[in-house]
Structure 1
């Protein structure tokens, strides 16, 4: 199938908007991770989850309290290594600014792979908030943001993602299928 990379972008619109689309909590991070993990399983891909890397950094002997961009830079390197081996890589991360989007692109270039930039949105504000408020951590040491933190996060408009998936009124299976079809088409 050849090396392919897939990176997620979770959109949060300006605070004054009444409709909500996702970014970090995209269809909440649980949905984000479920989507990424399920697609990786279907495709036999490497699943790189930033939350897992950041939790490991906090638990390490380094005792890093705030991993900042450390988890991202580790993931970019691991992604490029796996892409060079010919694996499909799915980056499960928040990409709110051009810097993180460009870094995934650089990892794909370094790995000589095609890249699919995916923006996941939840156009139903009520569903989005419910997902955020009912999310529980599934990794030891993981920090789960509350609704206020999610709505305050920085997000620069992603003008032309390769794929936009709206999770508001769809099953996770339908979203996974859409993602898998797009990755296979690369």
Structure 2
């Protein structure tokens, strides 16, 4: 199973996806961590899609081993979403796409402006950068989890309920 979390920075993706990965004993891939590692080696690089390409390859290798993989990424454009679908297709993995949103703009802004970096060398984006971030409309259904109210545990429970309600693939 490939579970891909998407959404703007500060919506709660990392909190929810990390907990879901722990509950499922799944491999956890965070694109921000991969991108920061690349930038650490090549500080002047224009990162572009490199972090996503590395994450796709690592996810695919682990899915081929039969592992469940949870991905934490903004996943803002059609091309990045299509790449995850292609990974799932090549490995015959069930793909679950989850968009994490925070519908309360003031709460979202508060989270963005008060969070601290949890990846060495990484600087979280400013509110202005989050608002200006390119984030395309989705072209297909996905599970939408709104973290504006309710606890992180309730968001995790909603995701786990969705995962457990799906029929097992043969």
TM-score category, normalised to shorter length: over 0.9
What is aligned with 2:118?
138
Per the TM alignment, residue 110 of structure 1 is displaced from its structure 2 partner at its CA by: 1.8
Alignment of structure 1 residues 1-186 onto 2, 5 Å: 4-10=1-7, 23-25=8-10, 27=11, 31-60=12-41, 62-186=42-166
Distance in 1 separating the partners of 2:64 and 2:163: 17
Q: Is the 8 A contact 2:9 2:112 kept in 1?
A: no
From the two aligned structures, give the one with the greater helix fraction: 2
TM-score under structure 1 length normalisation: 0.84
Superimposed CA distance per residue, residues 114-133 of structure 1 (whole angstroms, 9 cap, x where no aligned partner):
10111111111110000011
Number of aligned residues: 166
d(CA) in 2 for partners of 1:64, 1:55: 12
Q: Unaligned regions of 5+ residues in structure 2, if any?
A: none
Structure-2 separation of matches of 1:84 and 1:182: 23
RMSD: 1.3
Partner-residue secondary structure (3-state), 2:122: coil
Which 4+ residue blocks in structure 1 deviate beyond 4 angstroms?
none
TM-score, length-scaled by structure 2 = 0.92
